[in-house]
Structure 1
């Protein structure tokens, strides 16, 4: 297991940048342990809803967690607005870093994550493979 601290800069798309990082660094299986920072807005998909909701305001990232692999990411985040209201859900593309995003990743050396369609859920779900 290896830790990888990451800082995203203003203008980075949180999800797209983390997925690109996983591909570029050949992370076969990784977890986002935590993330904090700020966003210019966020696209979060709430439970049971198919389309993300746009939060078009400055936001603070309170928590960020999820899994990363070559087939993509599964990320959840909670954010707060200037009034302290908290929103949370599945991270979609379009969460743009405002000042910084400080993220801690953990790479699992002997595993590979894949996203494979699960007929029971109707979604691509995590499949875990041991690597020698």
Structure 2
């Protein structure tokens, strides 16, 4: 396993920044080990909904989980407000950093994470392929 650590700064978009990092580092099978920070805007899609909701308030990132690949990201986030009320959902573009986001990413050299349409669900789901080693 390889480990990457990144810190995002104010006004950066969490999902856009993670996708850029994944593309720049050619990550084929990555996963979030931990993520904390603070947003001033969050855009989420809740379970069984096909629309997003925008929250314009300061929210603490209490959990960030998911898979990362140059073929697509699938991330969920849990956020808490100043009263400790927690909400969570599918991370979308439009989650804007207030002070910081500290993200630790692990990667596997053994797999490639693809996103292909699953005929049963109709969604692009994770397809795990072993990474083949070329013999010279």
TM range (shorter): over 0.9
CA distance in 1, matches of 2:110, 2:27: 11
Query: Which residue of 1 is the match for residue 3 of structure 2?
Result: 3
1:31-85 Cα shifts (integer Å, max 9, x gaps): 0111000001101111000111111111100000100001221001100112221
Contact preservation (8 Å) 2:30, 2:69: yes
Gaps of 5+ in 2: none
Query: Which residue of 2 is the match for residue 45 of structure 1?
Result: 45
CA distance in 1, matches of 2:34, 2:65: 5
Q: CA RMSD in A?
A: 0.8
Query: Which residue of 1 is the match for residue 26 of structure 2?
Result: 26
Gaps of 5+ in 1: none
Contact preservation (8 Å) 2:28, 2:71: no
CA distance in 1, matches of 2:119, 2:12: 34
CA distance in 1, matches of 2:38, 2:29: 26
Query: Which residue of 2 is the match for residue 78 of structure 1?
Result: 78
Please give the TM-score of this superposition, normalised by the length of structure 2.
0.94
Task: State the secondary structure of the residue aligned to 2:21.
Answer: helix
Equivalences, count = 132
Please give the TM-score of this superposition, normalised by the length of structure 1.
0.97
- Between Structure 1 and Structure 2, whose CA radius of gyration is higher? 2
In the TM superposition, structure 1's runs of 4+ consecutive aligned residues that sit over 3 Å from their partners are: none
Task: State the secondary structure of the residue aligned to 2:50.
Answer: coil
Task: State the secondary structure of the residue aligned to 1:7.
Answer: strand
